[in-house]
Amino acid sequence: MLLPTPFRPALIVVDVQEDFCPPNGALAVAGGRDILPVVNELLTLPFVLKVATKDHHPPTHVSFASNHPGAEPFTSTCTITNPANAAETYETRLWPAHCVAGSPGNAVVPELDAARLDAVVRKGTEARVEMYSAFRSPLRDPPLASAVSDMEERLRAAGVTDVFVVGLAGDYCVRSTALDSAELGWATCVVEEGTRCVGGAAAWEETAASLKDKGVKVVHANGPEVEMVKALGA
């Protein structure tokens, strides 16, 4: 197989944590554990960098419905304001408390072949803002430094050219991670078999369309893009 030069792909495994997986997750995504065979197979491939992310929330996190009197998870929303610029706001959905630092639900699921990871990046540590993306919160004017991870720095240091994204959930953190990756300049794809959505199959159809509209490829685990990664080890 003729590979582009250079071709230095990275794999980002988003939030494969107990609280996002059945049977006991506080915010379990249906079929969340079903992605593990695909994810673990991808982890065996010769990506130049393999990074997982973890939601790592304080108990006071703004996305928890329990921190807003009268609010209900899944149906209520709140407005988040940039602490450095009151004119910049966005609306976010409220959730059950999940992935709280130090809790069992915060743990990466044991089925994940974590020994093959180069690093685990924590996100969502800033109580005042939502951070679906592995890179940063939606705040841009200015960015909130406490809600920016070192993911971009890691990818650039490794000379990464292409980013493959899998994990949970497809319609939230996977989507945001892939969109930020593309916006920051990487050729980016999401491996369809390696994700599941909070909103199920219908949400995935909408998510896939929105990703493609922004230049992110939706690929298959047995497709040519993954075969290119395999060819690096040939």
* Catalytic (active-site) positions: 15, 123, 173
CA–CA dist 39, 34 (Å, integer): 10
208 contacts: CB under 8 Å, gap ≥ 6: 190, 192, 218
Q: Report which residue type is found at 142.
A: P
CA–CA dist 44, 212 (Å, integer): 27
The answer to whether residues 36 and 108 touch, using CB atoms and an 8 Å cutoff, is no
Helices (H) and strands (E) in the chain, counts: 5, 8
What does the DSSP assignment read for 127-159? TTS---SSSB-S--SS--GGGB-SHHHHHHHTT
How many angstroms separate the Cα of 186 from the Cα of each of 90, 126, 140?
Answer: 26, 26, 19
Q: Report which residue type is found at 121.
A: V
Instruction: Find residue 188's DSSP bridge partners.
Output: 163
First to last CA, the chain: 10
